[in-house]
Structure 1
């Protein structure tokens, strides 16, 4: 990917931040395994595996923690 795909970690809301965390997780997989054919071939082996799904949730949570921190946990000075 040559274009800038992540200009900032700042988001308007926690929900937007969570969506960004999911995007970061998905792009991490895509960069690690650039072949869409290979990713699709591997999907059945983890799609019904509880440990794999929990690991996926963990990766998203770590990204969300990073995004939330960058956004000051969406706390605004009153």
Structure 2
């Protein structure tokens, strides 16, 4: 599994950075829990619990902030 696609956080646009942030978050989840059956078993809980959804969004936001900094905030 490639945890950082292309081994770079540099993207051309913030939109690409946001997509990369989502991809990195997903890669992290699969790296932590590689058993897809276990992941799917918990999906009903975390997709309907507002606190779990907020926590997931927070992970993506942290990834995006890291990518934005690596891109000098696209300036």
Q: TM-score range by the shorter chain?
A: over 0.9
Aligned pairs (5 A) from 1:1-78:
1=1, 5-75=5-75
RMSD: 1.4
Runs of 4 or more above 3 Å deviation:
none
Unaligned 5+ runs, structure 2:
none
In terms of Rg, which structure is larger?
Answer: 1
| Count, aligned residues | 74
- Give the structure with the higher percent helix: 2
State the alpha-carbon separation in 2 of the partners of residues 17 and 7 from structure 1.
14
TM value normalised by structure 1: 0.89
TM value normalised by structure 2: 0.92
Unaligned 5+ runs, structure 1:
none
